[in-house]
Amino acid sequence: MSAATASPDQTPDDGVVAPRRGATTWRRLKRNRLSVAGLIVLAVVVLLALLAPLLPLIDPAATNPANRLQPIGSEGHLLGTDHLGRDLLSRLIWGGRTSLSVGVFATLIAASIGSLIGLVAGFFGGATDNSLMRGVDVLMAFPYLLLAIALVAVLGPGLVNAMIAISIVNIPFFARAVRGTTVSLVSSEYVDAARALAFSRLRILFREVLPNVMPTIIITMSTTVGWMITETAGLSFLGLGAQPPTSDWGAMLGAGREFITRAPHVMIVPGSAIFLVVISLNFVGDGLRDALDPRLK
């Protein structure tokens, strides 16, 4: 598709090639049963999260301490209640909105910044490459959770700050993957051709190289978004993420820890949700990787 844009007389192909490739990807993805199962689970979860305001749910912040730690299946509370008597089903669905959107946004931020660093480093090479990638190495040298905790300590606790911290610690993964692909593309013939046509370097970078790096970015995103949801949950579990009464799966898990012997469902409910979503994301990510780039299989 991008090779097509290299010479102006081939531009009509653009509209034809792109959907064909998309269709191939979809067909390949469909053959992977685990990915399809993952997609279905994700679709349901996302739909529930999006529709939360419309669903007949109890207010997730409404406490009723006298009615605390009700088991799964109790009257009026399908998934029981937590340590303050709040409805777990409602908190799970509302919490899903928080956890999913934080995971997705963190991924988008990390992907944008990381990919830009990788593209620039790989494309320009030399001193630019060295200085950028050494910076990335420094980021990578810290244990990711420690770095995230340190960042939250500086920024103050809260969901937005947790998201920023998670984004920052994940920048290196994108930067490294994208740089590797970029380096191999820079010496390809269509880039040479674009150079011969005297296109500006920026144009070559964003119109020729970037589209061909996209599969790498998408694969990295799909495999890390689950990881980021887990990391955000980890920060919330430690009390550094969502502030009460906002529900968020990690914070729910953290609060349930104290009742693990007396009322394990308080922990099992959000724990299973995280598990289901993350494993579905990983299945979909694996499927996407196979479909987009068979060489990586």
Partner 1 sequence: MLATALVATLILAACGEDGEAGSDDPVVVGQVAEPASLDPHVVTAVNDFRININLYDGLVRYAADSLEVEPALAVDWTISDDGTLYTFELREDVEFHDGTPFDAEVVKFNFDRMLDEDHPYHDTGPFPLAQQFYGHLAEVRVVDEHTVEFELSSPFAPFLSNLAYPTGLLISQAAVEAHGEDVGRNPVGTGPYVFSEWRSNEHVTLERNPDYWDGAPEVPGVVFRPITESQTRVNELMSGGADMIVEVPPDDVAALRDDPDFVVGEQAGPHVWFLILNLAEPPFDDVRMRRAINMAIDKESIVNDVLQGTATVAHGPIAEAFGAAYNPDIDPYPYDPDAARELIEEAGYGDGVEVTFYVTEGGSGMLDPVPMGEAIQADLRDVGIDARISTYEWNSFLDEVNAGIEGKADMAQMAWMTADPDTLPFLTLRSGAWPDEGGFNSGYYANERVDELLEAAQVEVDEDARIAMYHEMQEIVVEDAPWVFVASWKQNVAMSPRIEGFELHPSFLLRLHDLRWAD
Residues that bind partner 1 (CB under 8 A): 61-63, 65-66, 68-69, 83-85, 153, 156-158, 239, 243-245, 255, 257-263
Of the two residues 63 and 112, which places its CB atom closer to partner 1 in the complex? 63
Q: How far is the CB of 245 from partner 1 (least distance, A)?
A: 6
Q: How far is the CB of 274 from partner 1 (least distance, A)?
A: 16
Of the two residues 197 and 260, which places its CB atom closer to partner 1 in the complex? 260
What's the length of the chain? 297
Of the two residues 68 and 207, which places its CB atom closer to partner 1 in the complex? 68
Strand partners, 77: 74
Q: How far is the CB of 230 from partner 1 (least distance, A)?
A: 16
Compute the C-alpha angle 233/271/101, nearest 5°.
40
Q: How far is the CB of 67 from partner 1 (least distance, A)?
A: 9
Strand partners, 81: 87
274: closest CA among 251, 297, 293, 255?
251
Cβ within 8 Å of residue 162, ≥6 positions away? 102, 148, 152, 232, 235, 236, 240, 241, 242
Place of tokens 């119109």: 207
Q: How far is the CB of 196 from partner 1 (least distance, A)?
A: 59
Q: How far is the CB of 157 from partner 1 (least distance, A)?
A: 6
C-alpha atoms less than 13 angstroms from C-alpha of 168 in its C-beta half-sphere: 20
Element housing 205 (H / E): none
Of the two residues 187 and 261, which places its CB atom closer to partner 1 in the complex? 261
Of the two residues 236 and 280, which places its CB atom closer to partner 1 in the complex? 236
Cβ within 8 Å of residue 131, ≥6 positions away? none
Of the two residues 86 and 289, which places its CB atom closer to partner 1 in the complex? 86
Describe the chain by its helix, strand, coil percentages, rounded to 5: 80, 0, 20
